[in-house]
Structure 1
Amino acid sequence: MEGNNCDLLYGLHDRPEPLKALFAAFQHILASFVGITTPALIIGGVLGLGSELPYLISMALFVSGVGTFLQARRVGPIGSGLLCVQGTSFAFLSAVLAAGFIVKNRGGSPEDILAMIFGVCFVASFVEIALSRFIHKLQHIITPVVTGIVITTIGLSLIKVGMTDIAGGFGNEHIGDSKYLIVGAITLSTIILINRSSNQVLRLSGIMIGMVVGYIAAYFMGMVNSDIADVPMISVPSPFKYGFDFELAAFIPVAIISIVTAIETTGDLTANSMVSNEPTRGPVYIERIKGGVLGDGINSCLASIFGSFPMSTFSQNNGVIQLTGVASRYVAFYIGGLFVLLGLFPVIGAVLQTLPKPVLGGATLVMFGTVASAGIRILATADLDRRDLLIMAVSFGLGLGVVAVPEVTSSFSPLFKSIFSSSVTVSGLSAILMSLILPCKRKIAEDEAVLKVTTDITEDVVSEAASTVAKPKSVTV
């Protein structure tokens, strides 16, 4: 079964001319640049890691380039062999921030915070690496209902971060000032207007244009700090630059999201196969999925080593393939090379660091809302019954409840309090456990039907054997 995209100019294995390949690569970079760099900006801003932001952004771009190349080149079993861009995953934001606050609340330095985050993410990457070997067999455990619940909770839990930035950012004495709200509203309105445009190229760059317009507005309102941090000309990747630390309470939420990310990657790669006119069933497809999820895990491992946050495939680049008609995996080599070059120059991160919080908040509010909407859409496409609705109700109630009333975990031990204070962890665990414990009537009906057919066949075989035994045998003298 193959995709129905008949408008491809270059198929997966075609080699476009260098100029055309470079132009197509720029389209993908335009669509994913903000998504790759924004998580580092958010995490750095919330946890007070300003001095380390240029390096974090540089490594996000560097590892994205390496990961994109590995996915397309397919080194051994690693990679899908498709034109899929790797980037920093928004799904891990809440879990990464929770890990950072564990250290920050103890008075840890920025280096201590990053040592904990990258140590936890390094170990969690092996969860996805292990899952890649049998990802196609987990559909009965990680159902669309479970995936939809977790993704929706991730988006809802992060909306507070975006709204706080619109109001001026964490720790701002004048939070909620009208000038912050005006700049945030300008950024948000610009993104909405461009998104409604009929021009597809314009829509692809809507978030970037919205941030530029918001930045200009903030500049004229005196909110832009034009002092760029003094950073080196070239950023050299340093393995475990901040050290290595680990804590179980910080690891569990990241591990759960690693499982969900593996399922998300499966969906992204399936969509990528469809728009690239490649099989979406059969042994070739299964090998692509296993290699792609393995590549996801390897890239997240590399990200933790060099100082970036967990990676995932970017679904927005599937739209770029449809727009340009270029599905050639050789374009990914150009994308990877350009991202690596951008990552080697930390001045890019220093410039992005001057973005006012309301501008960043106006853009991230849309992104986080989109994450929640994606989860809702997954739930809407599932064939929901009373059992599924009950799982959704309990999982959302518990997950969002521990955030609304954090005092509910006050009697827990420090370890369990850290684990169950995360809405993503609570809702994810609730959904998985209830899916395993509560019997599924559809599955029971299927088992009963199979049992009935098996019984009927067995009875027929026994009857035929009995009649054969009862027949007199002819004797030859």
Structure 2
Amino acid sequence: METKSIPISTSENPSIVGEVEDLPSTSNWQYWKHYLTSRDGWIGDYDYLYLITPNIYPLNRRYKDVEPPFYGLNDEVPILLTLILGLQHALTMIGSIVSPPLALASGAFYLDSVQSQYLVSAAFITTGISTALQVTRVHIFKSPLYIGTGLLSVVAPTFDVIAVAMNYADARYKRGTCPTDENGSKLACPEAWGAMLGTLLCTVWIQILMSLVPPKVLHRIFPKVVTGTLLLLVGVYLVSSGMENWGGSSNCEGGTGYYALCPDIDAPRPLPWGDPKLIGLGFSVFVTIIIVEFVGSPLMKSASVILGLAVGCAISGATGYWSRDEIDAAPVGTFLWVHTFPLSVDGALVLPLLIMFVCEAVSCMPDILATAEISKVDIEGREFQSRIQGGILCDGLGSLISALGTSIPMVSQAGNNGVTSLTGCASRRAGWCASAFLLLMGIFGKFGAVFGSMPPSVLGGMQVFLYSTIVVAGVRVLALVDFSRRNRFILTASLGIGFMDIVSPSWFSSVLAYSGSNVHLQGFEEGINLIVETPFIISAVVGVALNLMLKEETSSRSVGSVLPE
């Protein structure tokens, strides 16, 4: 059935110009009747065998150098294909969704298994809501502003908050506001997560306000040399935390008492950190992801991370490293606010989180550009600029909704672009379907319990691979930078101060060590410490300052350069 795209332009409000979903050329009733009851509407003429054919000769001979048909943003996609690709986009996002809450629960605040499982479920629910909002692209009445990109652009928990949370929690344990046992081992500190949530609710507004700033201005203040540096440092920092889990758990690396063995002495088969058997469990995940990339079908390739986790879980379960007790005890259904945390606002977090949200507003721009490019829509002009504005605003509102739902801040990601490229489907219908699947995954409590109870080594194998993709994203952005002397100087200074935090996290601990009775001064100094000791935040401060202060060069080579050409 023929469809057509219609731009909206009304005399009542000529500033409202945008796209709407393709409208059927016949009446709505006739269109939906045909779409929902006909073979053409349900199956179409798509070659479904292509999606499941492994990349193994001679099975792949039929599809050599063959590209699937392309479905644009508003094209009519068969219902079966919509369901398959919606699930595929949801599966692609699972690694990005589960990793941040599990990293915070086990590596920062040491929450119990029930709270960890709840954070995973909450992350799925809030991701589904935010992604649906991003894909829909809601027009703000009688204004040129939008909420969302209107692309098959997914939203997921940001990895940037992990570095802030880990440094913040470590400071609280050191000063005794988070509990430890008699051996000094860290115990659960839900109050610290409550302080994070309360402060997130107060600071996320800066990202919402930044959506009103023209994207060209943001790009001038935060050029690629800054955003690429941020991504690179975040990835490297997180790889180190993922490796701690790969070795057995960050809790038991050098731990005593209850955490003398990994993940603890009550585990089914506790072992010392870095035991070859634990390393092997993580390696099973890592190597499975690589094998799938070589021989997997298009559907398998775009879900390689979840397949790697499945193999690691199967091996760990068969060899006795995984107990089903926590899964059996988990509720069948759950939702937001089943568990709550005592909200508060910690002044030490205000400055770091403000800077983090500023960085979030800028770091999503390359991902939106990549998604627009692969969706075959304009990547220049007024419409694209409105997509950037809508994406930044959607991320801010998504983070606000997420914090209200006791979950992690959100950011646009381009991790699903591989699915779009392999399957040729950029239709928003697949995005809405993916959102529905994500909501169901979150509401089904035992689904989150699977991830919350898996052995840390299995999780670590996935995290190292996943976090490395952030490093690669940073390198990709930096590859687009003109390596003039000025940009190389900014990059050198930014990376230098950021790598200091990674290789020597405590280098600044004695510089501002106030111990007096002035709690306001103490909170301010703790905020400064948190900024300096969080790699991507201090790097952003240095990079932005140098970018604004150093003049642009008239040529790519300057006399007297102190950097090698």
TM-score (norm 2): 0.73
Question: Is 2:21 the partner of 1:21?
Answer: no
Letter in 2 for 1:85: V
Shift of the 279–110 alpha-carbon distance from structure 1 to 2, 3 Å rule, reads: same
Gaps of 5+ in 1: 1-5, 446-477
Q: Is the 8 A contact 1:252 1:419 kept in 2?
A: yes
Q: Is the 8 A contact 2:95 2:466 kept in 1?
A: no
Structure-1 residue corresponding to 2:247:
167
Question: Is 2:130 the partner of 1:55?
Answer: no
* Post-superposition offset of 1:291: 0.9
Structure-2 residue corresponding to 1:428:
540
Q: Deviations over 1:260-310 (max 9, x none)?
A: 322232222222222222111111111111111111110011111101111
Question: Is 2:324 the partner of 1:226?
Answer: yes
- Tell which deviates more after alignment, 38-47 or 117-126: 117-126
RMSD: 2.3
TM-score (norm 1): 0.86
Higher helix proportion (structure 1 or 2): 1
What is the aligned counterpart of 1:334 among 396, 413, 433?
Answer: 433
Structure-2 residue corresponding to 1:152:
232
CA distance in 2, matches of 1:182, 1:237: 36
* Post-superposition offset of 1:7: 6.0
Shift of the 330–302 alpha-carbon distance from structure 1 to 2, 3 Å rule, reads: same
Q: Deviations over 1:415-456 (max 9, x none)?
A: 2323312122221111111111222214999xxxxxxxxxxx
Q: Which has the larger radius of gyration?
A: 1
Q: How does 1:168-247 map to 2 (within 5 A)?
A: 168-172=248-252, 173=260, 174-197=272-295, 199-228=297-326, 230-238=329-337, 241-247=340-346
Q: Is the 8 A contact 1:124 1:251 kept in 2?
A: yes
What is the aligned counterpart of 1:42 among 93, 103, 111?
Answer: 103
SS in 2 for 1:228: helix
Question: Is 2:71 the partner of 1:71?
Answer: no
- Tell which deviates more after alignment, 26-35 or 210-219: 210-219
Letter in 2 for 1:117: M
Structure-2 residue corresponding to 1:85:
154
* Post-superposition offset of 1:25: 0.4
Structure-2 residue corresponding to 1:128:
207
* Post-superposition offset of 1:324: 1.9
CA distance in 1, matches of 2:93, 2:374: 18
Q: Is the 8 A contact 2:199 2:344 kept in 1?
A: yes
CA distance in 2, matches of 1:271, 1:403: 29
CA distance in 1, matches of 2:285, 2:292: 11
CA distance in 2, matches of 1:300, 1:170: 27
Shift of the 440–249 alpha-carbon distance from structure 1 to 2, 3 Å rule, reads: farther
* Post-superposition offset of 1:10: 2.5
SS in 2 for 1:155: helix
Shift of the 239–168 alpha-carbon distance from structure 1 to 2, 3 Å rule, reads: closer
Letter in 2 for 1:48: Y
Letter in 2 for 1:123: C
Q: Is the 8 A contact 1:74 1:80 kept in 2?
A: yes
Q: Is the 8 A contact 1:191 1:207 kept in 2?
A: yes
Q: How does 1:240-319 map to 2 (within 5 A)?
A: 241-319=340-418
The count of corresponding residues between Structure 1 and Structure 2 is 440
Q: Deviations over 1:340-381 (max 9, x none)?
A: 222112221112122111111111111112211211221122
CA distance in 2, matches of 1:232, 1:213: 25
What is the aligned counterpart of 2:198 among 96, 119, 131?
Answer: 119
CA distance in 2, matches of 1:93, 1:129: 21
Structure-2 residue corresponding to 1:398:
497
* Post-superposition offset of 1:8: 4.9
CA distance in 1, matches of 2:402, 2:205: 13
Structure-2 residue corresponding to 1:451:
none
CA distance in 2, matches of 1:259, 1:376: 21
Question: Is 2:223 the partner of 1:143?
Answer: yes
CA distance in 1, matches of 2:332, 2:308: 29
Q: Deviations over 1:219-245 (max 9, x none)?
A: 243211221253333223239931322
Gaps of 5+ in 2: 1-66, 140-145, 179-187, 253-259, 261-271, 514-524, 558-565
SS in 2 for 1:312: strand
Letter in 1 for 2:218: L
Identical columns (%): 26
CA distance in 2, matches of 1:293, 1:74: 12
Q: Deviations over 1:156-183 (max 9, x none)?
A: 1112111111111122221121211121
Q: Comparing both chains, which one has the higher relative contact order based on Cα–Cα distances under 8 Å and sequence gaps of 6 or more?
A: 1
Q: Is the 8 A contact 2:372 2:379 kept in 1?
A: yes
Q: Deviations over 1:383-423 (max 9, x none)?
A: 11112222222222222213433133312144232331212
